[in-house]
Amino acid sequence: MNEEQIDVVICWVDGNDKEWKKEKTFWEQKMIPGHGVVDDLWNRGDVRFRDWGTLKYFFRGIEKNASWVHKVHFITWGHVPSWLDLSNPKLNIVRHDDYIPAEFLPTFNSHTIELNIHRIPGLAEKFVYFNDDMFVTRKTVSGDFFRNGLPCDSAVMNPPPMTRHNLHAEYNNIGVINDRFVKNRVIAEHPLKWFNLRYGTKILRNCLFLPWHNFVGFYEQHLPNSFLKSTFRTVWEEEEEELAATCSCKFRDRSNVNQWLMKNWQQVTGQFSPRSFKIGHWFEYGEDNNYDLACKEVREGRWKLLCVNDTEEIDDFEKRRDQLIEAFESLLPEKSKYEK
């Protein structure tokens, strides 16, 4: 396989699929109380599974603004959008049972789906992982994601937000990293990757947390992440018990780690090239009534990378969905070759 190839991986689920919903309900009812947090906000209701109708703009963005992508691996439970052209040679449809070990299936845990990505047959050593709410909204080059053979990233320390419904995986990831690595030794081995002017004023966070004995956490932009497939293999070899425990959970659980562990592992081993935070922006859609601002920045294509994350705060789903689609249609009106 050509080492210069860079693939893209994206996960998608059709929350309206009756068979998928039937299987999900069956496994929810089999859950033993106290074993698996099925009533957690992420697992409950339709918010995390509802369709925004924006997936086609992911593909349009890839074609128009990331033509350097070698192949798009589209992970799905089994369903595919009716408009998707499956004959596109750059598209690889990947079902869960194509790559996730049988002992972890079926799964409704996004962490399981993500932590096994390296097992996708034919996946390039270098790949960029997208959620289905992430988009390429301005021209990019491969050097925005990989430089000198390494994934591009920003290594800035930052404690996870202390909220009731916080993503517990962040804390669990930090625990693994602190068990395996000594913070001051990590920074001493790669000082210019932690104190890099590309980070702007956020570099001050590294200064602030330098006296701490352990890593307090990492600043996560919630944008597409660049990975080496070999990183996944290494972490599975070193932390098989931890990762297998996560993948054994049919649904997200507070004990889980997630794919950011792979990202953090690359950071502490120096397997990354420093990149500015200005590469993109993350919107918690609906938070602080930011609908107009989010749609404005979509239309303008202000950022190379953009995430518009669904939340429980959205006051009128159909209205806000239509506004967002209109904004994306303004930015990316031309049908891509991934569409029929």
Q: Express each pLDDT in 199-226 by its tens digit.
A: 999 999 999 999 999 999 999 999 999 9
Q: What is the pTM of this model?
A: 0.94
Q: CA nearest 257: which of 239, 243, 240?
A: 243
**Do residues 89 and 70 lie in contact, with contact meaning Cβ atoms separated by under 8 Å?**
no
The answer to whether the CB of 77 falls within 8 A of the CB of 85 is no
Selected residue with higher pLDDT from 189 and 28:
189
Domains, the chain: 6-331 (3.90.550.10)
pLDDT tens for 60-87 read: 999 999 999 999 999 999 999 999 999 9
pLDDT in tens, 324-338: 999 999 999 999 999
Q: Can you read off the two tokens belonging to residue 274?
A: 């420093």
Q: Tens of pLDDT along 130-145?
A: 999 999 999 999 999 9
* Cis peptide upstream of residue 161 (ω within 30 degrees of 0): no
What is the tens place of the pLDDT at every residue in 241-274?
999 999 999 988 889 999 999 999 999 999 999 9
Beta bridge partner(s), residue 72: 8, 91
* Range 266-283 average pLDDT: 97
Residue among 259, 264, 265, 260 at smallest CA distance from 234: 265
Helix (H, G, I), strand (E, B) or coil at 74: strand
In this structure, are residues 159 and 142 in contact, taking their beta carbons and an 8 Å threshold? no
